């Protein structure tokens, strides 16, 4: 049984709400014409809609998201620099990739990491992928092994990579859920890398190519990434991220029937998410949740709260229906250090727990003197009877 702190909740969590006619009805997600799809909130990871989200499917150029993620990590960790010059090998030569997307790099030429990176993200260049794979890992096979290591670290349990670009390979597959996970990691862990996904065109060697993510031009949504993919086997796929009123959503549609279809199905998901859900900060780090009795200390009360912001995704209009409870691991006894975990906060909606967070001490409490400890011992004994 959780200990209820209703009065505190009503004054702390909901005093900022000004909603008078709350939208509380949330319809079922729209039907999505794709082999697999998922819609998540980036900040909380909450799944808002999904279908066949764990099915392993050919990724096509969605593969380049992992290649890009590794490039971003390598730059952040100082192992490569955007200004590094890469000599293009015969393996990476554009002529090796007829009838597929490429940056049009030439064998023997030197190209900067910065240009190759944009060639991967904006132009979807298969040639640029091979050049960067060789630059980072020495060979495509070694780079594929690195891709799989990162995939495992990210928890992409239904994905496997065999090359850096996404051209068909029976040993290469991903799931919609895993691609949402990867997109979220790109946004959070490599922000400078992710910024490139918003660029609408890139010119190299006097050849201007436009970003294939047509939702970047859609004025009804604030889309700032991320990647398209297509092969005959994979169909048309799209990973998208957009922001509205502080809420960032990530949608993934895989295996649609056309370029237009992947755009339409992605918009369905994003519009549904923004229309019916919001992401809010229920508590801020360091905010006092409750003042609670502590025994044997130099103070009778200790402030308890949250060490990190409590951010949740919930249906629009239901913020005022949130309730909060807490549960202590045991009775509080001095000494206690600031930041010590002493229990759990439970957020509830409609009587159901929707999230839980550690409850910590916001201040230290030292042991009281012998007289204070003796008095508290007596009081505690009487309170237990």
CA distance 375 to 385: 16
Contacts made by residues 284-287, CB under 8 angstroms, sequence distance 24+: 284/309, 284/310, 285/309, 286/362, 287/12
Judged on CB neighbours under 10 Å (0-12, 13-18, 19+), 51 is: middle
Kindly tell me the burial class for residue 218, based on how many C-beta atoms sit within 10 Å of its own C-beta (0-12, 13-18, 19 or more). Answer: middle
Residues 88, 89, 93: CA angle, nearest 5 degrees: 80
**Residue 73 is among the residues annotated as catalytic for this protein:** no
Q: Decide: helix, strand or coil at residue 375.
A: helix
227 is in an annotated binding site: yes
Is 61 annotated in the active site?
A: yes
Query: Does residue 64 have an active-site annotation?
Result: yes
Selecting among 61, 237, 251, 266, the annotated active-site residue is 61
Which residue in the list 68, 123, 124, 175 is annotated as catalytic?
A: 124
Give CA angle at 248 (245, 253), nearest 5°. Answer: 135
Who's near 191: CB < 8 A, 6+ residues apart? none
Which member of 64, 102, 267, 268 is catalytic? Answer: 64
CB 157 within 8 A of CB 188: no
Judge contact between 212 and 228, C-beta under 8 A: yes
> Annotated binding residues for substrate, as ranges?
227
Which residues are tagged catalytic? 61, 64, 124
> Annotated binding residues, as ranges?
227
């Amino acid at each position: 049984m959780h200990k209820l702190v209703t009065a505190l909740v009503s004054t702390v969590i909901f005093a900022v709400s000004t909603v008078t006619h709350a939208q509380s009805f949330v319809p079922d997600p729209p039907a999505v014409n794709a082999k697999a799809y998922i819609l998540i909130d980036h900040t909380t990871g909450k799944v808002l809609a999904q279908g066949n989200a764990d099915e392993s499917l050919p990724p096509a150029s969605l593969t380049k998201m992992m290649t890009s993620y590794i490039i971003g990590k390598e730059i952040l960790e100082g192992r490569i620099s955007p200004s590094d010059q890469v000599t293009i090998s015969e393996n990476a030569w554009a002529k090796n990739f007829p009838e597929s997307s490429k940056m049009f790099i030439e064998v023997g030429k030197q190209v900067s990491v910065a240009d190759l990176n944009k060639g991967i993200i904006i132009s979807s260049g298969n040639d640029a992928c091979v050049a960067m794979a060789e630059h980072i890992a020495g060979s495509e096979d070694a780079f594929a092994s690195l891709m799989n290591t990162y995939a495992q670290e990210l928890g992409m349990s239904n994905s496997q990579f065999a090359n850096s670009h996404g051209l068909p390979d029976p040993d290469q597959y991903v799931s919609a859920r895993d691609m949402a996970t990867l997109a979220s990691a790109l946004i959070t862990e490599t922000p400078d890398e992710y910024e490139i996904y918003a660029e609408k065109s890139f010119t190299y060697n006097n050849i201007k190519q436009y970003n294939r993510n047509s939702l970047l031009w859609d004025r009804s949504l604030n889309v700032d990434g991320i990647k398209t993919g297509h092969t005959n086997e994979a169909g048309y796929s799209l990973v998208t991220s957009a922001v509205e009123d502080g809420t960032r959503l990530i949608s993934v549609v895989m295996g649609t029937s056309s370029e237009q279809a992947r755009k339409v199905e992605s918009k369905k998901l994003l519009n549904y998410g923004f229309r019916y859900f919001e992401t809010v900060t229920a508590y801020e780090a360091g905010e006092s949740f409750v003042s609670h009795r502590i025994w044997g200390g130099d103070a009778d009360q200790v402030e308890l709260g949250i060490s990190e912001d409590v951010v949740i995704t919930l249906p629009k209009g239901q913020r005022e229906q949130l309730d909060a409870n807490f549960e202590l691991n045991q009775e509080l006894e001095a000494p206690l250090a600031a930041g010590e975990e002493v229990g759990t906060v439970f957020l509830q909606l409609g009587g159901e727990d929707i999230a839980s967070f550690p409850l910590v001490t916001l201040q230290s409490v030292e042991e009281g003197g012998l007289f204070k400890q003796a008095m508290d011992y007596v009081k505690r004994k009487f309170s237990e009877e």
